[in-house]
Amino acid sequence: MMEPLSRLKTLLGKSSRLVVLTGAGISTESGIPDYRSPGGLWEKYSPVYFQEFLRDENARELYWLQKKELYEQFHAVKPNPGHIALAHLEKTGKLLGLITQNIDGLHQEAGNSAAKVLEIHGNSRITICLSCRSEDPWEKTHERLLKGEKAPRCLSCGGLQKPATVSFGEPLNTDTLNWAREWSESCDLMLVVGTSLVVEPAAGLPRIALLSGAALAILNLGETPLDAEADVVVRGPAGTVLPGLISA
């Protein structure tokens, strides 16, 4: 029997419609903690739910205070060799798309084009008006926070401004989800990287791929509920394993 790494390499070589699904594990190597792990962000902050954000100015101010602090902690993080290897996959023409649970924007910064990346939980580097949907880069909104605004509103329509991430209690974007399902149905290989596959809806996408006849490869440090059904499981850090697989 072939070593898991050689099997994964063979699968990647054969694939012509590859979909990659990434989670927090790929970004921990860039220094972003997994917020669900012990010592993670939500042990420090109590999350503001979307409904509270909509109805209560105090909740909005608390929310923005948290986001401002997170931004100041994490805005300088850079893509790691794992992100860069995945960006290289797009250049090979095999990549149907990359679906991520992460909100850090590091896949695009590594070189993946926006059209190939679906961010099912949104992107923390953009702020959006909940009324007219106009977008600003985080830096612009951050300037306003530094000047003393506590819960910024849209400069064109006065609507509530919010980072373009999905909050607790906020519905996911239906179009994004539909695309993610469509890619999962159309791929010939799904490569799962750095996610333990316990959080829906991302956890369901590899099942869709399997049911549609695709091969499934899992690269993660820990076990996942789909290991037994995967064609290959590699245990290891994405930043070390992926560059060896993809550049060679």
Given the complex with Zn ion, which of 129 and 205 has the nearer CB atom? 129
Smallest distance, Zn ion to C-beta of residue 171, A: 19
201 cis-preceded (ω within 30 degrees of 0): yes
Cβ-contact 105, 22 below 8 angstroms: no
Q: Establish whether 121 is a catalytic residue.
A: yes
Q: How many CB atoms lie within 10 A of CB 69?
A: 13
Work out how close the CB of 135 gets to Zn ion at its nearest, in angstroms, rounded to a whole number: 10
Give the CA angle between residues 139, 145, 147 to the nearest 5°: 105
- CB–CB of 21/210 below 8 Å? no
Contact between residue 231 and residue 217 where contact means Cβ atoms under 8 Å apart = yes
Taking the least distance from each CB to Zn ion, the nearer of 63 and 183 is: 63
* Active-site residue (options: 83, 107, 121, 142): 121
Rounded distance, CA 109 to CA 144, Å?
24
Nearest-approach distance from CB 130 to Zn ion, in angstroms: 8
CB 8: neighbour CB atoms within 10 A? 24
Q: What is the DSSP letter of 165?
A: E
CB of 141 to Zn ion, least distance (A): 13
- By three-state DSSP, how is residue 211 classified? helix
In the complex with Zn ion, the residue whose CB is nearer, 143 or 229, is 143
Q: Which is nearer to Zn ion, 20 or 154 (CB)?
A: 154
Q: DSSP per residue over 46-67, as a string?
A: PPPPHHHHHH-HHHHHHHHHHH
Query: Closest approach of Cβ 104 to Zn ion, in Å?
Result: 25
Is the CB of 137 or the CB of 225 nearer to Zn ion?
137
Binding site for Zn ion (CB under 5 A): 129, 131-132, 154, 157, 159
Active site residues: 121
